[in-house]
Amino acid sequence: MTTLRVLTLNCWGVFIPGTVKYRRERIEAIAEDISQQHYDIVVLCEVWLKSDYQRLCKKLIPRMPHSHYFYSGAIGSGVCMFSVHPMIETVFHQFSLNGFAHKPYHGDWFGGKGVGLCKFNVNGLTVNVYGSHFHAEYRRDHDEYLAHRVAQAFQISQFVRLTSEACDLVLLGGDLNVEPVDLGYKLIRTNAHLLDCWLDKKRTSGYEHGNTDEVPSNSFSSPQPGYPDGKRIDYWLYRPSPNKSVSVEECSVIMNKIPGRSYNFSDHEAVLAVLRLETGDSAESAESRDARLSERDNLLGIALTELERGQKQTESDKSFFQVQVLVLSVLLYLLETSGGLVPSAPLLLSLVKLLLIIAIAVCAWTGFIVKRIEVHGLQTVAADVVNLIESSARSKVKPEITEPHVLT
């Protein structure tokens, strides 16, 4: 029998002065708190700065000697892992869709988000630990990134499903930015066949709803309409191999206020799960599998509709930026050929021309390159969804039984 204590936390390590408060102090407090506990594996999100990762390593390596940071995009994925157990191997899969490059104030595109996998040797058992941080949901009533998060959910479910056949235990931890009622959450659970530690726990401490974001008692939270108690978007999901059984002894929301300080460790709460893994039969029954796959196929149809909607919107955005290139180019041409109309302000004219050139370059890059990449990303995921739907449909068709041909 093996017991695992695993922790995940979004550290809110965004490095925007004046916007994110006490970043360095909080990172140091996070490192100090984790180093004083007895965790087997820790998955952290939003560790954007190398200096912050080094601060964590300096404090945690003596206690958890195995660590890995998943580098991706322009500023890194923000996801890293620490463990007392040795790593066998690691890999990172970047999502095909990661937000909009022309909205740098959201920042997700520059992080190159994806899913990181660390394989651990835990007392002779192979444990696959996946860490991820999905695209943020900035406005639920007008979610322009919904198609992207649906694509990310599908891709992570496929990645987990296709890389976990030989392991004894699957663990997925992180800030998935989806709620239990959302399509993305349901896709992950049905397609990758993952269970939710919070739902299967024997005991808990902390918030009764398991909410980890916009919790009222958090010093960095602001009231959200419809979420008086916050929302649950950080998870530990799991699945044992068929010849192993798992009991979730505890799943708790922890790491609230920093001791001796007036503020929290992060704008999110941490999730602790304690799992007991032992030999046993946990194979999915045929009836349960059929029901899960039937639900999954229905969800895939909904996901495909959302991806197609996203593709139409992206095609429209692409055309918009391309038209802007034409309009701005015409305007620049008119300014070049009528420079004598503004003889008393040559510096102003030069500045306007420079701004037009920059605007043309940005629109051209966005309309002819970035948006084309986004369209292809949506098409790729949609094609994978269609292939899975068709494969599932073929598996349900019973082969015709024909009479054997008798030679005469």
Provide DSSP, 51-75.
HHHHHHHHHHTTTS-EEEE---TTT
pLDDT in tens, 26-64: 999 999 999 999 999 999 999 999 999 999 999 999 999
- For residue 175, which of 240, 111, 121, 127 has the smallest C-alpha distance? 111
Contact 116, 143 (CB under 8 A): no
pLDDT in tens, 303-326: 999 999 999 999 999 999 999 999
Q: Is 133 considered catalytic here?
A: no
pLDDT of residue 344: 59
Catalytic residue among 193, 209, 268, 405: 268
d(CA 406, CA 343): 99
- For residue 151, which of 113, 107, 105 has the smallest C-alpha distance? 113
Residues of the chain with pLDDT below 70 are 339-345, 398-408
* DSSP reduced 3-state for 240: strand
- For residue 188, which of 168, 204, 170 has the smallest C-alpha distance? 170
227 burial (CB, 10 Å; 0-12 / 13-18 / 19+) is: middle
pLDDT of residue 403: 57
pLDDT of residue 77: 92
161 burial (CB, 10 Å; 0-12 / 13-18 / 19+) is: middle
pLDDT of residue 408: 45
* DSSP reduced 3-state for 195: strand
C-alpha pair distances (Å), 107 with each of 14, 110, 230, 340, 349: 10, 6, 23, 42, 33
